């Protein structure tokens, strides 16, 4: 797996200012993963590289779920703060 893809995906799609990779960079990395998976499925279906790509792709829902929870928590916290202290 490319060294530039893994850290971007692991950082998640959140804002760069909050430690994420940004949505555009995240989606570009996911596209690279998809292309790699398609390539290895076609050209070398028994390869370790395909196993690595597929197993990493399986982590993506958890990464995105964490980002969603963080963003919802941020929004709810801001709303509660505004309601109490406005």
Q: For the whole model, what pTM was predicted?
A: 0.79
Tell me the per-residue pLDDT of 19-45, one tens digit each, with 9 for 90 and over.
888 999 999 999 999 999 999 999 999
pLDDT of residue 2: 67
Does some domain include residue 22? yes
Does some domain include residue 76? yes
Does some domain include residue 75? yes
Tell me the per-residue pLDDT of 41-81, one tens digit each, with 9 for 90 and over.
999 999 999 999 999 999 999 999 998 998 899 889 888 88
pLDDT of residue 3: 78
Residues 6+ apart with CB under 8 A from 28: 8
Place of tokens 């395909």: 50
pLDDT for residue 1 is more than 70:
no
Domain holding 22, by residue range, is 6-85
Does some domain include residue 30? yes
Tally the domains of the chain.
Answer: 1
Does some domain include residue 1? no
Does some domain include residue 13? yes
């Amino acid at each position: 797996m490319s060294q530039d893809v893994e850290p971007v995906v692991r950082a998640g799609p959140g804002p760069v200012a909050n430690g994420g990779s940004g949505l555009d960079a995240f989606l570009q990395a996911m596209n690279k993963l998809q292309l790699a998976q398609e390539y290895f499925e076609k050209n070398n279906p028994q390869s370790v590289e395909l196993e690595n790509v597929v197993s990493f792709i399986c982590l993506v829902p958890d990464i995105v779920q964490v980002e969603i929870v963080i963003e919802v928590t941020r929004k709810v916290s801001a709303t509660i703060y505004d309601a109490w202290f406005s």
